[in-house]
Structure 1
Amino acid sequence: MAQQDNIKRLLRLTQEGNRGLLEEEVSRCESVRTAIVQGHFGRSGDTAVHYAARHGQLDVLKYLIEELGADVELVNGDYKRALHEAASMGHRECLRYLILRGAKIDSLKKADWTPLMMACTRRNLEVIKDLIDSGANVTLKNKDGWNCFQIACREGNPEIIQYLLKVSPGIWDVESKVKRTPLHTAAMHGCSEVVDILLERCGYGSDAKDSCGVTPFMDAVQNGHVGIAKLLLKKHRANISAKDALGAQSLHRAAVTAQDKAIQFLVTELGVNVNERATDLNLTALHYAAKEGHRGTIETLLTLGADVHAKDSKGRSALHMACAGQHTKCIRQLVDAGLTDSPDNTGRLASQLLKKPEALKLLEGVTDIK
């Protein structure tokens, strides 16, 4: 127990960068010296070298490697090296030192992430430059099929995007394993400056679809990024009527994610029919909103003229969807909007409401449920 407490103290000194006290503690006991050089700690199995690199403690890092002989290529439980840590946290001095000491520039941690990919999760251009200047391969992909450019597009720093395109002009032409492009990623995450660069400098096809049939325009709309949707319309001639693999359009996907402003944009500015049907099961946006229990979206759709009585290919109204999801407040909302149900469907409605008897009362007088 005493030695375990001592190790914890040493790791704390490592994180704090207190080299003087660390040297004193290590010099007192050979077993402690061995543990601090070779030991793996915590759930992730980090070594002292990992701790020093993660916290940017260059002086301690030098002591561990040069004085104690720690290996720069030590891995933790996720096969992460110290170089991954320095790159991820943006500690440039530690990163350059590790490279100088022979750290493998394209080492892979779990899920095949390189230090360069880790660096691209941050907005530190200088660290990214150091890695590429040292020979990092910009074209490598992780297990999901993402390269460093795709990751940078998610983070949305235009300077980094411009730099990566400069050093590797064709880097943009990549798809993940589910066929998502960097343009999908930037649109989804609301990175408008990056979307603008991609549309200007890269050759993405209009309305490219991922494996679910989703286009960048759909990504922008369903995440509420109306400005990016407008940009895609202006510069990319995006198809507002494109359908995903289930036949849903942008309107339907916006209803699922409760993006009311995007719905208003589609209907009032672009003229999308608020009662447009998804080809799968003939659902309307109101069906989708009721299924998810989005009261605000239901109100938005009704205000825009959604047909509260519309039925899908199975004869189900939005009320059925609200009942199936046990969304009591939405049931009340739809009933107040004048939605009634035919007697032949009341048995199904009743069975769906068994978990919430109070919701059944909302239908009394509207259907023949007693």
Structure 2
Amino acid sequence: MSDYSSAFTHCETGNLYSLKSLIDHVDAQRLGEIKDKHRASLLHYAARHGQTDILQYLIEHKKMDANLKSENGATAAHDASVCDRLEALEYLFHQTELKSNVRDERGDSPLHLAAWYGSYPSLKFMLEDQRADAHIRSYDGSFPLHYASSHGHSECVKLLLKVAPDTVNGQTIAGLTPLYLACHMNHLEVIKILISRGANIRLKDEDGLNCLHAACRNATTEVVGWLLEKQNANVNDCDYSNYTPLHYAASSQHESLITYLLNRGARIQAASNGNTPLHVAAEYGRNGSCALLIEAGCSPLDQNVQHLKPSDLAQQNGFTDLSNELKLRERSLIHKALPGSNITSVTSVNDSVTQHPKTSVVRLVVRKKNVKRADVSLQVSENEIVNEIRQQSSTPSVENDTNRRRTRPFAQELQAKVLEHEANSRREPNNSDINQNFNSSHDSSQLLHSLNSINQRNQAGKTRAKLPHDVYGPWMKNLDPDTFKEQLNTVHAGLRKVRRNSLVQQEKYNSDDVHVSSAENEYTLVDTSNSENNDNTPVIEESIRGKEFLNNQNKLTSKTESFQSKSGQNTINSGPKHNQFTGDKTNITMPQWQKELIERKKGIKA
């Protein structure tokens, strides 16, 4: 509609005569199609500039629709509210069917826009004359009070609170309150008005941010100080990602605010993603904030969960100078922590790593004992490692070095003795080795116990805890030293006797035969030593369970090694010193105690 471009100028200046001569022959439908690049009509231009006579001419004589909307869905009433054209607004609401609750594409009514732009007369007219609803929400859940508080219109805030006092803590869909927006935009006067009407400073948005977080993000020391000193806000309050007010202050350019928070007791801690306030300041390129945080104790060596240091974040976001400065700080801290070490492999600020921000960074994670990996707060930090290395390098322990030199040879010596004992135990024993075998077996058990103690001490890093005396031997409780020594000697003597008898019996196993017959899981021992005179020699039979018999035999001999199958018959191998028995008849050596039992029973029957 280039032919009618001058019509917009006539609406702005109020030149009704020129406008009539230009559009008098144009019908209402064609006039509604005359719009600028933002789809605003002649009605919008007349309402913006308060040209009531032109509005009357267009609506009453040319029959234009008062509900015509622009590109963003605004009507002429929206434009009149923004520009605070009270006369035009009164005409639109009184002479047309336009209502005060008409919405644009964002859901804002003329009342919202009057509160946004501080159009107090228009706001008052709609609240008092048109009875506009102050509880009306936009599509994001905002009241008109949210807009007035966000832009610092204190008179509009008072008027809206007078009409709708229950909206003082109203939250949008994102959880924003009018006080939150006022703190974020640094409107201290509005903040005081809202708090005096009952605003809650501890309400949080959908991310867990409260008014103090919002104030630290984009405010000055005045607002933050008033919240901390007058309203007792928590300087270390965390959002849902464990970001503190100090994190948000580090992202801003207010260095004085960082200093104030540190003086008020703000802690330097990592968020859930591992970022410290220094990470945040480096990510946003805040050189002054980085210097203040390092001076306050924030380490440039700290890494987040992605294993990135502050210098890496600065490099990724294009702050090369800040990244180089932080790397110099890193190298300085390492040299101070290890004064005696010769560190030549620290990355220079001019090397290839500085020129390639995508270079991978590898982190060595040292985990404490019995601590889950997910618990970052209990991990060993680099400072602890550096301090420990420095202490060890400055005060070397001669005793520890001596123990390390002694432990390994001593363990090897014990192991060699055990192997020697095992080799000796495999050869055939003789009578002269009886006492020696018992002593070597006793020594072997002591050596094995020593080896186990050494291994456990090396693994646990401390002496193995002793068990209570009740576990070792309850019968030893309440014994005096003399009685204990006597009991110990008795036990040793009994063990030597049992060992001696066992070795003697092994030598005589091959001299006698015992006939073994089996019937339904029972075994019968028959003496066949005098097989020629079976009629005159009494046969002694002793029936015992098969399992008990095998257990008694196993106590005198070695354990059963394997079951073999030969020619369809079961063969039991009972040890290297025994003959094999197959089927019902087997020749095995009769032990001495059986011979004595037979002789004793012969004498009784005789």
Aligned to 2:74: 80
User: Which segment is superposed worse, 284-293 or 329-338?
Assistant: 329-338
Aligned partner of 1:310: which letter? Answer: D
Q: Is the 8 A contact 2:324 2:354 kept in 1?
A: no
Q: Which residue of 1 aligns with 2:26?
A: 30
Distance in 1 between residues matched to 2:177 and 2:75, nearest whole Å? 29
- The answer for the alignment partner of 1:181 in structure 2 is 177
The residue that corresponds to 2:413 in the other structure is none
Bigger radius of gyration among the two: 2
TM-score (norm 2): 0.54
Distance in structure 2 (CA, Å) of the matches to 1:108 and 1:344: 66
Corresponding residue for residue 164 of structure 1: 160
Q: 2: CA distance between counterparts of 1:339 and 1:216?
A: 39
Q: 2:198 maps to which residue? A: 202
Q: After TM superposition, list the pairs within 5 Å mapping 1:180-329 onto structure 2.
A: 180-204=176-200, 206-268=201-263, 270-273=264-267, 276-313=268-305, 315-329=307-321
Deviation at 1:343, TM superposition (A): 9.5
Instruction: Mark the CA change 1:331 to 1:71 in structure 2 (over 3 Å): closer, same or farther.
Output: same
Which runs of 5 or more structure 2 residues have no equivalent in the other structure?
335-342, 360-606
Task: Report deviation, 1:15.
Answer: 1.8
Q: Cα gap change, 1:123/1:271 in structure 2, threshold over 3 Å: closer, same or farther?
A: same
Deviations 1:106-136 (A, max 9, x none): 0011011100001111122111000112121
Alignment partners' CA distance in 1, 2:51 and 2:296: 59
Question: Following TM superposition, by how much is the alpha carbon of 1:304 offset from its aligned partner in structure 2, in angstroms?
Answer: 3.6
Amino acid paired to 2:149: C
> Deviation digits for residues 225-275 of structure 1, max 9, x if unmatched?
22111222234321111111211101011112333121111012x0223xx
Match of 2:4 in 1: 7
Query: Residue 246 of structure 1 contacts residue 278 of structure 1 at CA under 8 Å; is this kept in 2?
Result: no
- The answer as to whether partners of 1:226 and 1:262 remain within 8 angstroms in 2 is yes
Q: Secondary structure at the match of 1:120?
A: helix
User: 2-side partners of 1:216 and 1:191: how far apart?
Assistant: 12
Cα drift, residue 332 of structure 1: 2.5
Aligned in 2, Cα 1:279/1:79: closer, same or farther, shift over 3 Å?
Answer: closer
Q: Using the alignment, how far apart are the partners of 1:344 and 1:184 within structure 2?
A: 50
* Structural mapping, 1:316-355, within 5 Å: 316-339=308-331, 353-354=355-356
Residue identity opposite 1:26 in structure 2: I
User: What are the superposed Cα offsets for residues 30-66 of structure 1, whole Å, 9 maximum, x if unpaired?
Assistant: 35x6533x22413332221111112222221121112
What per-residue deviation string (whole Å, max 9, x for no partner) do you get for residues 316-370 of structure 1? 4322322333421102222343546899996xx956742699xxxxxxxxxxxxx
CA–CA separation in structure 1 for the residues paired with 2:29 and 2:305: 70
Return the structure number with greater strand share. 2
AA aligned to 1:79 is G
1:66 to 51, 56, 60: 60
Contact 1:196 1:231 in 2 (8 A): no
Show the counterpart of 2:151. Answer: 155
Q: Percent identity?
A: 24
Aligned residue for 1:323, secondary structure, equals: helix
**What residue number does 1:362 align with?**
none
Residue 203 of structure 1 and its aligned partner are, at CA, apart by 4.0
Deviates most, 258-267 or 316-325:
316-325
1:319·1:331 contact (CA, 8 Å) conserved in 2? Answer: yes
> Structure 2 residue aligned with 1:146, among 142, 147, 160?
142
Q: Is 1:93 the equivalent of 2:95?
A: no
**Residue 291 and residue 176 in structure 1: after superposition, are their counterparts in 2 closer, same or farther (change >3 A)?**
same
Q: Deviations over 1:281-326 (max 9, x none)?
A: 3322111111222222212323444333334455543223223334
Deviation, 1:278, is 2.6
Cα deviations by residue, 1:171-208 (Å, 9 ceiling, x for unpaired): 2131011111111000000110010011111242x421
- Rounded to whole Å, the distance in 2 between the matches of 1:325 and 1:11 is 47
> RCO (CA 8 Å, sep 6+): is it higher in 1 or 2?
1
Q: Does the 8 Å contact 1:249/1:278 carry over to 2?
A: no
Which residues of 2 match residues 129-140 of structure 1 at below 5 A? 129-133=124-128, 134-140=130-136
Which position in structure 2 is the counterpart of 1:48? 42
SS of equivalent residue, structure 1 residue 111? coil
CA distance in 2, matches of 1:304, 1:350: 31
In the alignment, the residues of structure 1 paired with residue 162 and residue 344 of structure 2 have an alpha-carbon distance, to the nearest angstrom, of 67
What is residue 560 of structure 2 aligned with on the other side? none
**Equivalent residue number for residue 603 of structure 2:** none
Do the aligned partners of residues 343 and 318 (structure 1) sit closer, same or farther apart at CA in structure 2, a change above 3 Å counting? farther
Q: CA deviation at 1:140?
A: 1.0
Please give the secondary structure, in 2, of the residue aligned with 1:166: helix
Confirm or deny: 8 A CA contact 1:295 1:333 kept in the other structure: no
Are the structure 2 counterparts of residues 110 and 314 from structure 1 closer, same or farther at C-alpha, using a change threshold of 3 Å?
closer
RMSD over equivalenced CA pairs, Å: 2.6
In the other structure, the counterpart of 1:364 is none
Structure 1 distance, partners of 2:39, 2:150, is: 29
Paired residue type of 2:316: A
Alpha carbons of structure 1 residues 284 and 104: separation in structure 2 relative to 1, 3 Å: same
**Equivalent pair of 1:72/1:101 in contact (CA under 8 Å):** no
Question: What is the CA–CA distance in structure 1 between the aligned matches of 2:209 and 2:346, rounded to whole Å?
Answer: 34
Segments of 5+ residues of structure 1 without an aligned counterpart are 358-370
**How many pairs does the alignment contain?**
346
- The one-letter code sitting in structure 2 at the alignment partner of 1:97 is Y
